[in-house]
Every structure is written in structure tokens, then in C-alpha cells.
Chains A and B, each alone.
Chain A
Amino acid sequence: MPNSNIDMGDIHWLMDILQNIDTGLVVLDKDYNIQLWNGFMDSHSGISPQLAKGRNLFKLFPDIPEQWFRQKAEPVFQLRTRTFTIWEQRPHLFHFKNYRPITGRATSMYQNTAIIPLESIDRSINHICVIIYDVTDAALAQQELHHQQQEIAKLTCVDHHTGLMALSAWQHQSARELAQCHRAPTPSTIAIMDLTGVNQLDDASLACVFGIVSRALRHTDMATLLDPNHLAVMLPASADSDVRFFIERIRKSISRKIPTLSQQHLATGIAQANPDFSHLNDWLQAAQHAMQQARQQQAEWISVHSSAAE
């Protein structure tokens, strides 16, 4: 093009491109009123550019969280920086149908957005452009992959002999929980149960105990076999008093299923994580110590580690 000035003919085909490009383009002014609304937005929202023009974004789309969107858009006006949102943050900005309504697996479109500053002739930023990309296929593939990875991780951390968590995985998770407790004190608790009595019975009884424990666990709780005679349970976000209740319940179920096993064979020590435990071993030792006490005291067969005694 010898002449770099854009004439009317060029504007005509530029507008054609804006209308037909398969990406959403929305121009907003400082009050979040819509100034431009391209064909993509028109087709997917069912709102024509004539209707959209001049309307306030948040009034036209009440499901867009205003505070959240302002938080992303204000820096663009004020700092002239581009900001981005990705579908992991929020699956979509505009609730549109999936482009493949028949064979697609998702009902709505996943979107990434970029918000860019638009400079006026006087170099001030009075408008921003929101660009909306359809990333449904990528998002679904990513989610599927993540799901598969989790399944594989789950398979590798189960001890197939007991059906409980493998010891190494349990130690890893518990150590992470302790690290979390150092940062923000959440009352996570470990309970250790003495299985010596059960081991004197047959393998079926042992399997029965593992089954009862597995079923009693909440989604986030984790149980493992520390050694053949000791079962350990880690309960995130549970205070020792709650865990005491949990253990009582398990012991009742066990003695109902295996009447030959009196409660005294299931001495249990409970220790709540506290910042004095620098290592997972400290935490385990506290629980083990409490278990020894329970065995000696024999009154209730449950003992709770108290941090004041340390």
C-alpha cells in the first residue's frame, strides 16, 4: 500500500474482519459501557451490536461478578498494563454455549480473556478492549489429563494388601500437613491404634478392622499401617476432641463385628499437631507416647497428648 492513510474502502474490509473473526471483541469505556461488540459476541450472546452499544456491561450481564472484573480491568486503565484471565480462575467471563452443542462434552464455553488498554489520540487511556478466546477443547483436555493423573496417583499410593494408604505416601502427606500447621495453625490430629490384639486373631479379623477404618474415614482423612501392630490415622482440620469421638466410634464398630476382641486390645494415642513439632517424627512420637499411656492407664484405653506436658 503506497499510501498509509486508511481510506473508507479499507475501513470497510477492516470492519468485515472484526465482524467475522472467531474471537470475541468488546470495547468498554471508563464507566464499563459497551462501545464495540463484534460478530462473535453477537452470535454467541444473541444480543445485537445495536442493542449492546452504550449499555453498561454489568447491567446487561448481571452474572459477571462486578468487583472481580473491575479488579482485573482497573489496572489496565490506570497502569496501562495488559491483564489476562484464564479459565482455571473462572471458566468463563460470558456464559456462552459450547461451540459444539451436539458432540461437545461441555455445556458451556471455556474462555481465556485478555484486557488491553486502547490509547486515545491524546495518549490517555479512556477505553479498554476485552478479547475473548474460546479454549473449551484445551480446557477439557487439561481437566481430563488432571483427572487421569490423580487416578494414577491414587493407585500408586494405595497399599493393596491392606486397602489403606501406603506408608510412604501417608508420611509425605502428614509431613505436608505439619508444614501447613506451622504456617497457619489448623488443628490436625494423628491417632495411633495398637493392633497387637487383632494380630493374635486371624487374617480375616484384621481385614475386617481395615475395612471398618476405611469406611469411617472422611474424604480428607488418611490411614496407614505404621508397622504390623500399629495403625495410624491422620485427620486434617480436626481437633483432638473430635478425633477422640471418631476413635470411640471405630472401636465400637470393631467390637460389635469381632466380639472376641475386647476394647482393651485397641489402646489408642491421640496427638494434635502443634508448632513445637519440628518434624513428622516428633508428632508420631507424641501420639505413640500417648498410646503407651493409654495402655498403662487402662481406664479408657484412649490417651490424648497434651502439649503443656512437654
Chain B
Amino acid sequence: MTTQIPLVTLSDDQRDCYQELTNVAMGQAADRLARLLDHYVVLPIPRVNLIEISDLRMAIEGARDGDAISAVCQGFIGNGIAGEALLLFNDTSYTDLARLAQYPAKLTHQDQLEMLMDISSLLIGACIQGIGEQLEIHFNQGHPVILGQHCDLKDILNVSHQKWRRTLAIEIHYTMEAVNVNCDLLLLFTEDSVQRLNKKIDYLLD
């Protein structure tokens, strides 16, 4: 089936449109995070790219930046468009985030998990719903899955299952002012979803 789908392409207009959609959605997400933590969240510029599976690993390695990370992923599907949101959370962020979220200063493993789930519910949920609203798609979300703490992501991104060659990735890097909190949100769509999404985008562009 994969061979029948032509390789995904993206025109400049489409790219701009995706970027604009994401801007609106993540603005909502950042607003919610800021309200939850009562702290200013720096609004980043999302990066929209077509990536190969090998690039994905590089993107994730880049996000790790040598530090240990914790990762949560959550699948979403609606109107035949499916994908996964991946939240990569730098382990050095826990201390400052705990202070903002009013968690105890000495974090147990359990507290870290709670915090990770709270943040990911918020950011992933707001982003996906935000994009969905603009495209008039109701996305269903699966349950979040903890990919692990201090994990090795090569096991998750199993290259041997060549299920896709190239796909759409939206990368958002959240940081907060004056505190050491940073996390990356990656929205990845399946190859066949991109075709459908592009059609919706073209409709918006016309």
C-alpha cells in the first residue's frame, strides 16, 4: 500500500499555512500553560518540515542536547487524519517547574510523573484541539504513554519497520522566561494523512 502513495510534498504556501495554523494553536497552548503556572511563556516560532525517518532521530537527539529527557507520546486521529504528538521534556527542567506548579521542593519519582502528565495533557491537548478547530476536524486522543525517563529513543523509533518514508513534522520548542524550563513538542502526521491535510490546507488557501 505504501508504494501506491506518492512521496509527500509541501509547497511554500502550504508550509506557511501550516506554520500559521500551528502559531494559533500553540498560542492557545502557551496561554493555558501560562495560566496554569502563572508565569510568562515565551512564544516560539514553529518549524514545519518534511522529514525522513532518519531526520526524526536527529531531531530528537538534537532536542536531548546531551541531557537526559523524559518523553510522553499521545496518538490522535480524526477525519482520517492520524498522527502522534511527542513531548520531550528536559530532565533539568523539573526543579524549576516544580516551584512554579507548586509541587514539593523535593520531587519524588511519582511527583515527576504527575507533573509530566499535567504538562503534556495541557500542551498536547491544546495544540491538537487548536489545529483541529481551525481545520474543522474533531480529533480523538488516545491515552498518553510514558516513553520513559532517561530513555533511549532508538528502541521506540524502530527503523526496521519501514512504515513510512517521509512525513510532516511540526516542531515547537517551548521555553519560559527567567527559569530553566524547556521542552519540545513534536507533531508527526502519518504519510497518508499529509495528503488529506494538504487538501484541507489548499481549500483554506483558495
| Same assembly | yes
Across the interface, which residues of B come within 8 angstroms of A88, CB to CB? Answer: 113, 146
B144 at the interface (CB under 8 A from A): yes
B70 CB, nearest partner CB in chain A, Å = 12
A133 at the interface (CB under 8 A from B): yes
Q: Which residues of B are at the interface with A, using a C-beta cutoff of 8 A?
A: 32, 35-36, 74, 92, 95, 106, 110, 113-114, 117-118, 121-122, 125-126, 129, 141, 143-146
Residue among B32, B110, B117, B143 making CB contact with A79, cutoff 8 Å: B32
Q: Which residues of A are at the interface with B, using a C-beta cutoff of 8 A?
A: 68, 71-72, 75, 78-79, 81-86, 88-89, 112, 114, 133, 183-184
In the bound complex, CA of A84 to CA of B125 (Å): 10
In the bound complex, CA of A63 to CA of B36 (Å): 26
In the bound complex, CA of A244 to CA of B145 (Å): 44
- Tell me whether A112 and B143 are in contact in the complex, defined as CB-CB below 8 angstroms, given that A88-B113, A184-B95 are known contacts: yes
- Tell me whether A89 and B143 are in contact in the complex, defined as CB-CB below 8 angstroms, given that A82-B121, A84-B121, A183-B95 are known contacts: no
- A86 adjacent to B121 (CB under 8 Å): no
B78 CB, nearest partner CB in chain A, Å = 13
Additional 10 contacts, C-beta under 8 A, given A79-B35, A86-B145? A68-B114, A75-B121, A79-B36, A81-B126, A86-B117, A89-B117, A114-B143, A133-B143, A183-B92, A184-B95
- Tell me whether A82 and B125 are in contact in the complex, defined as CB-CB below 8 angstroms, given that A88-B113, A89-B117 are known contacts: yes
In the bound complex, CA of A80 to CA of B132 (Å): 14
Across the interface, which residues of B come within 8 angstroms of A84, CB to CB? Answer: 74, 117, 121, 141, 143-144
In the bound complex, CA of A121 to CA of B161 (Å): 47
A116 CB, nearest partner CB in chain B, Å = 9
Across the interface, which residues of B come within 8 angstroms of A86, CB to CB? Answer: 117, 143-146
Determine the residue in chain A with the shortest Cβ distance to B123: A81
- Tell me whether A81 and B117 are in contact in the complex, defined as CB-CB below 8 angstroms, given that A75-B32, A86-B144, A133-B143 are known contacts: no
- Tell me whether A82 and B117 are in contact in the complex, defined as CB-CB below 8 angstroms, given that A75-B36, A88-B146 are known contacts: no
In the bound complex, CA of A85 to CA of B121 (Å): 9
B95 CB, nearest partner CB in chain A, Å = 7
- B121 adjacent to A83 (CB under 8 Å): yes
In the bound complex, CA of A173 to CA of B122 (Å): 34
Across the interface, which residues of A come within 8 angstroms of B95, CB to CB? Answer: 183-184
A21 CB, nearest partner CB in chain B, Å = 16
In the bound complex, CA of A229 to CA of B13 (Å): 69
Determine the residue in chain A with the shortest Cβ distance to B31: A79
Across the interface, which residues of A come within 8 angstroms of B106, CB to CB? Answer: 184
B5 CB, nearest partner CB in chain A, Å = 31
- B113 adjacent to A81 (CB under 8 Å): no
In the bound complex, CA of A89 to CA of B114 (Å): 6
In the bound complex, CA of A105 to CA of B123 (Å): 36
Residue among A85, A183, A184 making CB contact with B117, cutoff 8 Å: A85
